[in-house]
Amino acid sequence: MRLKLNVKRILGDLAGASLRVFPAETAHDLGMFLLKHRLARFLPRPADTLEVPHDLDLHMRIPGLGDLVHPIGLAAGFDKNAIALRGFEDLQFSFLEVGTVTPLAQPGNPKPRMFRSRSEYSLINRMGFNNDGHRAVYDRVEGSPLRIPVGVNLGKNKQTLTEHAISDYLKGLIHFKNLGSYIVINISSPNTPGLRELANPEFIRRLKSEIEMQVPELLKKIWIKLDPDLPRKEFIALIETITEERFAGLILSNTHRVTWPEAGGMSGHILSHLSSERLTWAYEVHRGALPMIGSGGVMSGIDVFHKLARGASAVQIYTALVYRGPWAVLHMLEEFKAEMLLHGYTRASDVVGCHYRD
């Protein structure tokens, strides 16, 4: 028993030290190795700190995703190539999103391309959709049966001209049409030239038209991921179009474009206000008719509560894993439950949209 406990302690110390000692992308790769081999199962698991009433219900039901045991999922970008799905399931996520994946494998941008901003609990990345391509990711997802929903985030290859981007997305939709609980159209990364130019009503309508002609059955499972840097007027026009064209839902939001101290997309604490504001803008348009996932700046259970209060039905985390460690989900759920009780809620589903009711 003592030996087993010491092994757990050593592995826990090693996992924490990797984030402090190694460069950001090296630490990420090391963490992915540990998760791929499901070594997180040997880490000491935190005990519950809150005596939860029996009637406190964290379950969420979301069209397209189905039933979630709680509202915290993994954002795209952490496991781009679906190499550690079982490992992330071990960390108690309620759903996972792989990718961004492109039709052809590509190496992404030159290194270094991921940086920590410790003082702001944030990350900056300019990865550039580095991934193994449709075929490899499909095979890994298919070969990793899970108890939780998995979504696939689709992008375009760097060399694909903007005017031909729909072709890349359609290849992905056709390739993954029988796999995954939901599919995400990523037109929001700041690190692929021309990608954010696609975030306009005309593109959304063209995409819808092509989907209806080639894979009409998929419309009910296609979500759109937007960036937080669009001006309000343009953002509202996009939400109106996405709602009118009856896509499945919205993910708000991707990273915030920055040029200092490094160029790329910033995630983490600094993004919290921007992503929450975009949830509010979107909710003002669709009034709850369109499911939303809150992503960006979700670092605590209080953040989870406030994203749901502004209309999200679930949240996704990325940077929180870097700064809060492998058991971030469990810690955040305890904080979320405490926040629910503080506000008098016993069901997580009742929190959704409460900002507009209270």
Confidence of residue 92 (pLDDT cuts 50, 70, 90): very high
Query: Active-site residue among 122, 189, 272, 313?
Result: 189
The residue type of 272 is S
CA–CA gap between residue 52 and residue 95 (Å, rounded): 22
Q: What are phi and psi of 66, to 5 degrees?
A: 85, -150
Q: Are 82 and 106 in contact (CB under 8 A)?
A: no
pTM: 0.93
Cβ proximity of 129 and 158 under 8 Å: yes
Domains of the chain as residue ranges with CATH? 1-44 (no CATH), 54-356 (3.20.20.70)
Above 80 in pLDDT, residue 179?
Answer: yes
Which pLDDT value is given to residue 154?
A: 98
Retrieve residue 118's tokens.
């410790």
pLDDT tens-digit series, residues 309-328? 999 999 999 999 999 999 99
Q: Is pLDDT at 65 greater than 90 in this prediction?
A: no
pLDDT tens for each residue of 299-309: 999 999 999 99
HEC secondary structure over the chain: CHHHHHHHHHHHHHHHHHHHHCCHHHHHHHHHHHHHCCHHHHCCCCCCCCCCCCCCECCEEECCCEEECCCEEECCCCCCCCCCHHHHHHCCCCCEEEEEECCCCECCCCCCCEEEEHHHCEEEECCCCCECCHHHHHHHHHCCCCCCCEEEEECCCCCCCHHHHHHHHHHHHHHCCCCCCEEEEECCCCCCCCCHHHCCHHHHHHHHHHHHHHCHHHHHHEEEEECCCCCHHHHHHHHHHHHHCCCCEEEECCCEEECCCCCEEEEEHHHHHHHHHHHHHHHHHHCCCCCEEEECCCCCHHHHHHHHHCCCCEEEECHHHHHHCCCHHHHHHHHHHHHHHHCCCCEHHHHCCHHHCC
Average pLDDT over the chain reads 92
| CA–CA distances in Å: residue 137 to residues 175, 179, 189, 217, 330 | 10, 11, 20, 22, 28
- Show the CA angle centred on residue 293, arms to residues 256 and 280, nearest 5°: 70
pLDDT the model gives residue 19: 55
pLDDT at position 347: 97
Interval 104-129 mean pLDDT: 95
Residue 189 a catalytic site member:
yes
pLDDT band at 196 (very low <50, low <70, confident <90, very high): very high
**pLDDT for position 206:** 97
Model confidence over 15-52: pLDDT tens digits? 554 555 799 999 999 999 999 999 988 888 886 555 55
pLDDT of amino acid 18 = 52
Determine the angle formed by the axes of helices 2-21 and 24-36, rounding to 10 degrees: 150
| Rounded average pLDDT over 270-274 | 94
